[in-house]
Structure formats: C-alpha cells, structure tokens
Structure 1
Amino acid sequence: MKAGMIFTGSGPILVLTACESLTAPKVTMQLSAKGITRYIAYEIPLDMVKEKYGKHFSVVMGDLKQSNDLRVVDEEGRRVFYNFPLEKLENPVCYEETTQIRKAA
C-alpha cells in the first residue's frame, strides 16, 4: 500500500492505494469518478499515516465498500494539510486529464 496527499482544486485529501503510483490508471479513473481530473500528489510514509490516524486507519483498511485501487482516509483538507510536516512532502507528481474538444465544422 502507498499513501498519498493529493492536492485538488478544493484542498488536499489523503488516500491509500495498492497501485504502483499515485497516477496509475486505476487511481486516476477512481479520482475522475469523484470529479478530480487534475491534481498534485505527494507520497506519504505509510507508517506516518498509521500513526496519525490510528484506529481510523484500520477502519478504512477494513472497509469492504472501498477498493484497494483507491481508499480515501480523510477528505477534511485542513486536517490532512496540518497532519504532516511539509518537509516530508517530496517529489510531487502532477496529473491532468487530457480531453480533446471537437470543434464544430
């Protein structure tokens, strides 16, 4: 599992994924289904997420309604932002869904 802080247009969210990256197609498809089509993501050490979220982390991991492709741990942007030191945010990855717009003839 990987943990990631994902900065969206409405603020950061904290997610878990079994995918190899925070921009893997399964992750981007699930985020797109939630209306998130562009973001900047930082990987967070999983141990740090377990420490900060404790029992809630276990509840999220046991939630059968969520897939291992994307599990949302926290959607409260302020809490996510202040739970992790900025010095731990390294090597951002950026994603933007590309959409082709057809022009009328």
Structure 2
Amino acid sequence: MVERTDKTSATHRPLFGEMSPKERIVNWIFAGVTLLMVIVTVISAMVFPQIPPRPVNIFFAICIIMICISVIILIFWYRQGNLEPKFRILIYYILISIINLCVCANLYIHEVGK
C-alpha cells in the first residue's frame, strides 16, 4: 500500500522557523555597524588625505564594496531559504571581517602610525 503525505502542511511550514526578537536585534546590530563602517571608509577613501584621492584608497573602497556585494547575495539567499541555517554563522564571520577590513583601511587612509 502506498503511503500518502499531506503536501499542504509541508508547504505552509517555514523552512527555518520564525526568528526570535533577540536574533533580529543581533542582525540589525551587525547590519548597522557594518553599514556605518563601510560608508565611513568609502567617504574617507574619496576625501582624505587630499583631493584628488590616491588610487590605492579608491582600490581599498572598491574591494570592500565587492565583498559587501557577495555578503548581500548570501543574505538574500539565506532569507529565501536556499541556504541552511548554519550559513548564518558564516555571514556573521564575513561581516566581522568586513568591519576589520574597514578599520585597517581607515587606519591606512588617515595615515595613523606615521
């Protein structure tokens, strides 16, 4: 005898479950800090230490923006349910790496340590 499964119950169930308020706050904090750091870095690369900006500063900004685009794609896939929940930790790791890269770029752009 062939067993029938109810497909309607499986289609209405969310793949990863609902996000808790704590997870939403953590996501917003990561997004806010990363966005702020990237904006500050890109503006600093275009303005400091003089106008016109140095090509290496522009290169720093372009590299950071390209990494951000790849993370945005990962987040989009994760929210659609195409990635497993364990990829959330990878996304957090990459966001922390972007923040560290922005700090290093800002230190270089503003010539700290010379």
Q: Scaled by the length of structure 1, what TM-score is found?
A: 0.27
- Which protein is bigger by CA-based radius of gyration? 2
Return the structure number with greater helix share: 2
Return the structure number with greater strand share: 1
